[in-house]
Structure 1
Amino acid sequence: MKDIIFQMAEKADDGIMYVTADGNIAYWNRGCERIFGFSAAETAGANLDIIIPEKHRKRHWDGFYKVLETGRTAYSGRMLKVPAIRKDGEKLIIEFSMQIIEQEGKSAGFTAIVRDVTQR
């Protein structure tokens, strides 16, 4: 069953990522590769800043650490639309849903399902 679940995530057209509590990318599927242009190998352990436009980083990290601290997000069950950047520097608009991942009763990071909505 684990193999089937892994294949589902790996082969999804939408991007699926897992970001640890320190803001580093720990999982990056083929959908993320297509959307952002970075391979999974390039993003392994990389900071999420590689896809966040510089002018939006402070706001992003303020919210990121607040959710880690409180274990709550106002965006649960909703798609959030934000600007992002590709490896080649191209700007895009993504929608994503995020879920808090817990280990031993503490927020350990986030998983996100991502879709490029630039053409909308």
Structure 2
Amino acid sequence: MGHKNLSFLAAAATLVLTYLSLGNISAPMMTVSNSDKIAHSIAYFVFTWIWFVFFYFSEKFQLSFVKSLLYASVLCFVYGVLMEVSQGVFTTYRYVELFDIVANTSGIVIAVIFIRILKNTLVRI
């Protein structure tokens, strides 16, 4: 995948997550306890994967596996915290939730674990 495609994918994922984080949208009521936290974890799992792929496979950056994983993890964590703070500062219909940050972080950590497990497969691609 070329740099422009990877850039588009990372930018699109960031825009979608920004909209979902700050938009005045209502999620369908789910019967599973803490389902919004599960959704946060899944979203940040995918978000971390996308940014890892961007950094690792981009011809522009040519980062090592470890640096790509570190950059993606830190970027996604900082972004998640900024989105939570932005909800409290810039919206009247959302508020900051510490457990959302914990859920985001759990998605990032799980993504890091999976990416590390799949390292040899990813390197061969």
TM over 0.5: no
Q: Structure 2 length normalisation: TM-score?
A: 0.25
Between Structure 1 and Structure 2, the one with more helix by share is: 2
Larger Rg: 2
TM-score by length of 1: 0.26
The structure whose residues are more often strand, as a share, is 1
Higher relative contact order (CA 8 A, sep 6+): 2
